[in-house]
Amino acid sequence: MKNECDIVKDLLFSYHDGVLSNTSKAFVEEHLKTCKSCNHILQEIKLENQKKKPLKEIDIFKRIRKKITKRNIIILISLLFLLLVIIFNIFVFRNYNEIASTMEIYLQDDITEEQIENIKNTIIGTSDNIELEYVSKETALERMKNNFKDNPDLLSGYNKENNPIPASIEIKTNTEIQTIVDNIQDMPGIAHIKTHINYNPYQLFFYTIFNK
């Protein structure tokens, strides 16, 4: 029947997609048993759907791959940033630990040899792992002049007789610096003790870089 075919043709797409009610589905299937024309149309619908399905799958895969790619890029950038932060902090705190393990003890001009030896012995007594160097006023002045060798006139007026640079004891150690400070700070002959233990590690890092 022409009228029945028209009805079935309208229902074939829904039938193929499996969204018809049981009653409508039974009606279409009963009609398809005897109608070659509607069966032919149904086969065309199936073929057309099979052609579109791979394209849809490819499109879905492309979208998934695109999303994964963007996500991977974000993850990679985040990991690289994290790695750079870790490396930077390693350099910062390595620099800090190296500098914070040093100290300078500036001595009074009228300090005696005995007082210098007492200070040295007290420092050495705090640990076996201490590098200690006594820097005389003359040596300190020469070092200062070398630091200003690009501007030699700046310190040209200073010599052994009017040397303003104090003698010092330079220390490098793995021992807690504060322990050494506590042991020697009240000893006679000491003018000033300079440590780096309370410095900000990041400020110290950039200060070290820009003053090399």
- Supply the CATH classification number for the domain 101-210: 3.30.70.3040
* Residue with tokens 């052609």, as numbered in its chain: 51
Contacts for 149-158 with beta carbons within 8 Å, 24 or more apart? none
Q: Comparing 152 with 202, which gets the higher pLDDT?
A: 202
Picking from 46, 38, 39, 40, the residue whose alpha carbon sits closest to that of residue 18 is 46
Domains of the chain by residue range: 2-68, 101-210
133 Cβ neighbours under 8 A, 6+ residues apart: 169, 170, 171
pTM of the model: 0.56
The string of pLDDT tens digits covering residues 103-136 is 999 999 999 999 999 999 999 888 778 889 999 9
Picking from 104, 98, 118, the residue whose alpha carbon sits closest to that of residue 174 is 98
51/84 Cα distance (integer angstroms): 50
% of the chain at pLDDT higher than 70: 88
What average pLDDT does range 161-179 have in this prediction? Answer: 86
95/97 Cα distance (integer angstroms): 6
Cα Rg of the chain, angstroms: 44
Cβ burial of 205 (10 Å; 0-12, 13-18, 19+) is: buried
- pLDDT of 42 strictly over 90: no
